[in-house]
Amino acid sequence: MSKLQCIIFDVDGTLLDNTDSIISLFQDIVVKYLGSDKSMTKREVLSLWGPPGDEIFRKIFPPNIVDKAWSEFLAKYRETHTKEGFFSRRELSDFRKYVQYLAIFTGKSRYTNTISLEELGITDCFDLIYTGSDVENSKPYPDALFRILEDLSLNPEEVIFIGDSHLDVIAGKAAGVPTAGVTWGSVEIDKLLQCKPDYVFNTPFEFTQFIKGRS
């Protein structure tokens, strides 16, 4: 077994508990700008996930209102954002005792990801950050994972990709990277488990103990 050199984190549902709040905010924006007859269920919103948020907005909203709807979404997203994540700044720093690199691969847009990391105060905890805006194909495609491997000169077996979604597991498997499925922030646990991640963790503490045991 190769020594673990890098942990790649998903963001929503993995580093912080905000998936339900994002869905609720998106639903409110849809109703406000498109009308109540266009309201979307939680399942319908989740079915859109994969591309970054601004791309999703361009698919859903007409050109004449998409910029205004997206701007309002971003403003309210920052305004209501949690200040606490599943891993504190200190806990993320402690991972450096066991691995050389910390990275992020999120399907979030560059804009919403910047807000999340700033509000949590953890932006500088990571060596590399790839969002859905930074690659041609976001999750479930593995493009960003391949770029992280290349940028850090790592082999797939030296990395673990941790995420709460089946999209994370699919991307990880496509890149040949070991995957850790987490249930603590997942809103579609059944889909996550059906994709058979290499490891499953129910609490951040369980994952931390696993990393310590791999050192």
| C-beta separation of 11 from 164 below 8 A | no
DSSP string, 124-150: GG-SEEE-GGGSSS-TTS-HHHHHHHH
**pLDDT tens per residue, the chain (215 residues)?**
579 999 999 999 999 998 888 999 999 999 999 999 999 999 999 899 878 889 999 999 999 999 999 999 999 999 999 999 999 999 999 999 999 999 999 999 999 999 999 999 999 999 999 999 999 999 999 999 999 999 999 999 999 999 999 999 999 999 999 999 999 999 899 999 999 999 999 999 999 999 999 86
Whether domain 6-18+83-214 has CATH 3.40.50.1000: the reply is: yes
The pTM of this model reads 0.90
